[in-house]
Amino acid sequence: SYELTQPPSVSVSPGQTARITCSGDALPKQYAFWFQQKPGRAPVLLIYKDNQRPSGIPERFSGSSSGTTVTLTISGVQAEDEADYYCQSAATSGYVFGTGTKVTVL
Amino acid sequence: EVQLVESGGGLVQPGGSLKLSCVASGFSFSSYEMNWVRQAPGKGLEWVSYISSGGNSIYYADSVKGRFTISRDNAKNSLSLQVKSLRAEDTAIYYCARWLQDSYYGMDVWGQGTTVTVSS
The answer for residues whose C-beta is within 8 angstroms of residue A76's C-beta and 6 or more apart is A15, A16, A17, A60
Which of A44, A95, A99 is closest, CB to CB, to B35?
A95
Condensed to tens digits (0 to 9), the pLDDT of residues A52-93 reads 999 999 999 999 999 999 999 999 999 999 999 999 999 988
pLDDT band at A1 (very low <50, low <70, confident <90, very high): confident
The predicted model gives B43-52 an average pLDDT of 98
Which of B108, B111, B113 is closest, CB to CB, to A45?
B108
Q: What percent of chain B stands above pLDDT 70?
A: 100
The predicted model gives A22-48 an average pLDDT of 97
Decide if B61 and A94 are in contact by the 8 Å CB cutoff.
Answer: yes
Contacts of A24 in chain B (CB under 8 A): none
The predicted model gives B52-73 an average pLDDT of 97
Distance CA A102, CA A51 (A): 21
Condensed to tens digits (0 to 9), the pLDDT of residues B92-110 reads 999 999 999 989 999 999 9
The predicted model gives B1-6 an average pLDDT of 98
For A95, name the nearest residue in chain B, comparing CA atoms only. Answer: B47
Characterize the bridge pairing of strands B78-83 and A44-47: unpaired
Query: Mean pLDDT over all residues of chain B?
Result: 97
Higher pLDDT, residue A2 or B84: B84
The predicted model gives B76-104 an average pLDDT of 97
The answer for residues whose C-beta is within 8 angstroms of residue B86's C-beta and 6 or more apart is B12, B13, B14, B15, B16, B17, B18, B67, B116, B118
Q: What does the pLDDT read at residue B78?
A: 98
